[in-house]
Amino acid sequence: MDPLLYRKAWININLAAISANINQLKKQLPNQTAVMAVVKANGYGHGDIQVAQAALAAGASGLAVALLEEAVRLRKAGIKAPILVMGWVAPEFARIAIEYQITLTVFQVSWLETFKQNKIGQPLSIHLKLDTGMGRLGIRSIEELRDFMAHLAQCNINLTGVYTHFATADEPNHDYYYKQSSRFETLINELKQHTTDQMVVHTGNSAAAIQHSNDMLNAVRFGIGMYGLYPSLYLKETQPISLEPALSLHAKLTHVKKVGAGESISYGATYTTEQEEWIGTIPVGYADGIQRGWQGLSVLINGKKMPLIGRICMDQCMVKLDQAYPIGTEVTFIGKQGNEKISMEEIAQHLGTINYEVACLLTNRLPRFYDPSDTEGAGVNF
Ligand SMILES: *Cc1c(COP(=O)(O)O)cnc(C)c1O
């Protein structure tokens, strides 16, 4: 964490919520189904290392990330649990994966050929990816699978897992999910003809883990739900599981003024006061991930919703206040104040996107605090 924290803007991460969300899911899953905590993209903006440690303490048995870089970062932080990289990693970097005991995702014969040519002494651990309908990465046909397994037999590689990814598990209609499940079963049956290796077989992201808990085989890859966010509005409305958001975002007013009627605020002068109004200035903007599209959303001040007005600037934005407030008054962008709350889902809806994107786009300029006693973004004397 950057020790230079002079600005009054911060994110609180409630790690107890991360644990509670894992426990909620575990209650629903069969005993033999393990939880892999997905901490790619800096833990969906929540902080990869802290979330990984909390998740492992709460009973997750492994971690999954998108990039080899993200996996190495976790290892360098001293994390010993199994880590799966779900994205494609060039075969040239297999040595790094072996050095750090990181499991890679592999599914291409050409990849195996390059790996073999590099003649690495120690074995690499991989999970095989099957593409059952996501259309992103993986083997799609039985012929490809046979060819892959024939090449794999000549490589110094341990096949420790096999998996697929669902495209529609967050929806009320399960037809496509069942189509993917049945293709997976066909490919797995073929795979078993070619290996007797002990493999972790996994298919589910949060949505599948929540909607199809009993089909989840050896493990699930629990991402968005672990952060207390629902994979879709449909699942937020139907609440088959109770999740608690871990992230809240706050700042403090840096300026408060009364402006007369007919005065404009911010770039483009897009907002003009109709009468005398109290206007507050907040020291966060699109460089923090409070995108320009947030204009028109509300923030919480004194337990009440108040609208962000005028264009969001790079480092600041303005709010219409219902009265004068002192400089230093707390403003909540995401989270609760009193009986009011602002969720990532409502922000996402306003932006025409999904909660995943709202969380991932919060930049590292905002410090993250993890100690529950730091409710004021403490550790810092504001
Ligand atoms: C990101 C990702 C996940 C986690 O998905 P959530 O919807 O966040 O639970 C699982 N599997 C793969 C392959 C992913 O890329």
Find the 221 Cα to ligand 1 centroid distance in Å.
Answer: 6
Average pLDDT of the residues in 343-367: 98
Q: What is the DSSP letter of 123?
A: P
Catalytic residue among 8, 26, 40, 252: 40
The predicted pLDDT at position 3 comes to 56
Q: Looking at the CA of residue 44, tell me the nearest atom of ligand 1.
A: 8
Question: Residue 76 belongs to a domain with what CATH number?
Answer: 3.20.20.10
Number of domains in the chain: 2
First-to-final CA distance of the chain: 17
Average pLDDT of the residues in 51-66: 98
The predicted pLDDT at position 254 comes to 98
Is residue 110 one of the residues assigned to a domain? Answer: yes
The predicted pLDDT at position 376 comes to 53
Query: Pick from 201, 216, 236: which residue ends a domain?
Result: 236
Find the 39 Cα to ligand 1 centroid distance in Å.
Answer: 9
Same domain, yes or no, for 218 and 339? Answer: no
Is residue 3 one of the residues assigned to a domain? Answer: no
Query: Pick from 172, 205, 236: which residue ends a domain?
Result: 236
Bridge-based pairing of strands 157-163 and 124-129 is parallel
Average pLDDT of the residues in 332-344: 97
**142-152 helix and 109-117 helix, angle to the nearest 10 degrees:** 10
Is residue 24 one of the residues assigned to a domain? Answer: yes
Tell me which of 77-81, 156-160, 177-181, 372-376 is least confident.
Answer: 372-376
Best residue among 25, 38, 177, 227 to mutate for probing ligand 1's pocket (most ligand atoms within 8 Å of CB) is 38
Same domain, yes or no, for 183 and 266? Answer: no
Find the 321 Cα to ligand 1 centroid distance in Å.
Answer: 40
Which segments of the chain are extended strands (E)?
9-13, 34-38, 62-65, 83-85, 104-106, 124-129, 157-163, 200-204, 219-222, 247-252, 255-259, 264-265, 271-272, 277-282, 298-301, 304-309, 317-321, 330-337, 340-342, 368-369
381 pLDDT band, cuts 50/70/90, is: very low
Same domain, yes or no, for 277 and 159? Answer: no
The predicted pLDDT at position 382 comes to 46
The predicted pLDDT at position 371 comes to 84
Is residue 9 one of the residues assigned to a domain? Answer: no
Same domain, yes or no, for 196 and 168? Answer: yes
Query: Pick from 236, 267, 299: which residue ends a domain?
Result: 236
Is residue 241 one of the residues assigned to a domain? Answer: no
Q: What is the mean pLDDT of the chain?
A: 96
Model confidence pLDDT, tens digit, residues 245-295? 999 999 999 999 999 999 999 999 999 999 999 999 999 999 999 999 999
Model confidence pLDDT, tens digit, residues 178-203? 999 999 999 999 999 999 889 999 99
Q: Domain of 30?
A: 15-236
Residue pair 313/265 in contact by the 8 Å Cβ criterion: no
> Which residues fall within 8 angstroms of residue 341, CB to CB, at 6 or more apart?
300, 335
Average pLDDT of the residues in 85-109: 98
Same domain, yes or no, for 183 and 253? Answer: no
Q: Is the pLDDT of residue 135 over 90?
A: yes
Find the 238 Cα to ligand 1 centroid distance in Å.
Answer: 21
Furthest C-alpha separation in the chain: 78
Same domain, yes or no, for 85 and 229? Answer: yes
Find the 82 Cα to ligand 1 centroid distance in Å.
Answer: 17
The predicted pLDDT at position 379 comes to 44
Average pLDDT of the residues in 86-104: 98
Q: Looking at the CA of residue 206, tell me the nearest atom of ligand 1.
A: 9
CA distance 67 to 81: 16
Best residue among 221, 355, 357 to mutate for probing ligand 1's pocket (most ligand atoms within 8 Å of CB) is 221
Q: Looking at the CA of residue 221, tell me the nearest atom of ligand 1.
A: 10
Find the 65 Cα to ligand 1 centroid distance in Å.
Answer: 9
Best residue among 86, 128, 202, 236 to mutate for probing ligand 1's pocket (most ligand atoms within 8 Å of CB) is 86
Same domain, yes or no, for 27 and 80? Answer: yes
Is residue 382 one of the residues assigned to a domain? Answer: no
Average pLDDT of the residues in 13-37: 97
Is residue 310 one of the residues assigned to a domain? Answer: yes
378 pLDDT band, cuts 50/70/90, is: very low
**Both structure tokens of 14:** 């409630």
53 pLDDT band, cuts 50/70/90, is: very high
Catalytic residue among 76, 178, 258, 267: 267
Same domain, yes or no, for 285 and 365? Answer: yes
Residue 238: strand, helix, or coil = helix
Same domain, yes or no, for 134 and 203? Answer: yes
The predicted pLDDT at position 5 comes to 85
Which residue in this structure is represented by tokens 């000549």?
Answer: 154
Q: Which residues line ligand 1 (CB under 6 A)?
A: 38, 40, 86, 165, 205-207, 221-225, 231
> Which residues fall within 8 angstroms of residue 381, CB to CB, at 6 or more apart?
none
Same domain, yes or no, for 204 and 315? Answer: no
- pLDDT > 70: percent of the chain: 96
Bridge-based pairing of strands 157-163 and 200-204 is parallel
Bridge-based pairing of strands 200-204 and 219-222 is parallel
Same domain, yes or no, for 275 and 317? Answer: yes
CA torsion angle 49 52 54 57 (round to 10) = -130
Q: Is 40 in the active site?
A: yes
Nearest residue (CA) to ligand 1, atom 10? 205
CA distance 83 to 100: 10
Stated pTM of the model: 0.96
Average pLDDT of the residues in 96-115: 98
Q: Is 271 in the active site?
A: no
Question: Residue 320 belongs to a domain with what CATH number?
Answer: 2.40.37.10
375 pLDDT band, cuts 50/70/90, is: low
Is residue 380 one of the residues assigned to a domain? Answer: no
**Both structure tokens of 224:** 């968005």
Same domain, yes or no, for 112 and 60? Answer: yes
The predicted pLDDT at position 128 comes to 98
The predicted pLDDT at position 4 comes to 72
**Both structure tokens of 267:** 């770039």
